[in-house]
Structure 1
Amino acid sequence: MAMQESPVKTVKVRDKGPWRRRMWMWIVAAGLDVYILGFVLGLQPSGPLCGSPLLRESHAAELIGLQKAGIGAAAVCYKNIDADSVPVWTLMAVGVFLVMAGVAVRIVTIRRSASLD
């Protein structure tokens, strides 16, 4: 009695370059870079007596405003802080979005490779 060999199931392995295999890492790294850039810019003071968009301490401008009988130094500081906070929060949001997109790309590639098996 002769044994028959079962047909070998061949699996196609798609040869991807290193960029395509690690694309999700690049996206996550870019997202972290953008987030850190937003954080660093957010800690920069908005003026000589003003706080920063992430640390809104403008006590010096408030004290000068009280001593000079209401020259509005604190109001100008808070306007500058508000104007500077738009790009800071935008950069931080884009950074978080890129990190989430990189993780989503990784999940999709894992599921696609699992469905090929």
Structure 2
Amino acid sequence: MPTRHAPSPRAHGLEGSPETIDPAGRGFTIGQAATFAGVTVAMVQLYHQDGLVDEPHPDGVGCRRYRSAETLRLVQVRTLLGAGVPPTEVRPLLDYLDHVAHLLNASGSSGH
């Protein structure tokens, strides 16, 4: 899968973390999330088609909003693909890392 980079988030006035960009917490449009992640809308749609990123569920008015976690996942996918990780290995790798993080959080909360 070719990687294609969009202009940096700073070029579009999207400096800072997702929380500081979207203080109301409504989430981002696909265009805003793509820009923040440094990819194009077409690449985000391709990530969805290839199963690399889950598509957000529509909200009450039918808009698909990308929350911080989904936007971070876009950045992770772009980074791994840019580093040469084969597309077929990206999702399993990210799922494994999520699992490890969950285990670490669970062990940390058990008081050990």
Q: Fold-level match, TM-score > 0.5?
A: no
TM-score (norm 2): 0.26
**Greater RCO, 1 or 2 (C-alpha within 8 Å, sep 6+):** 1
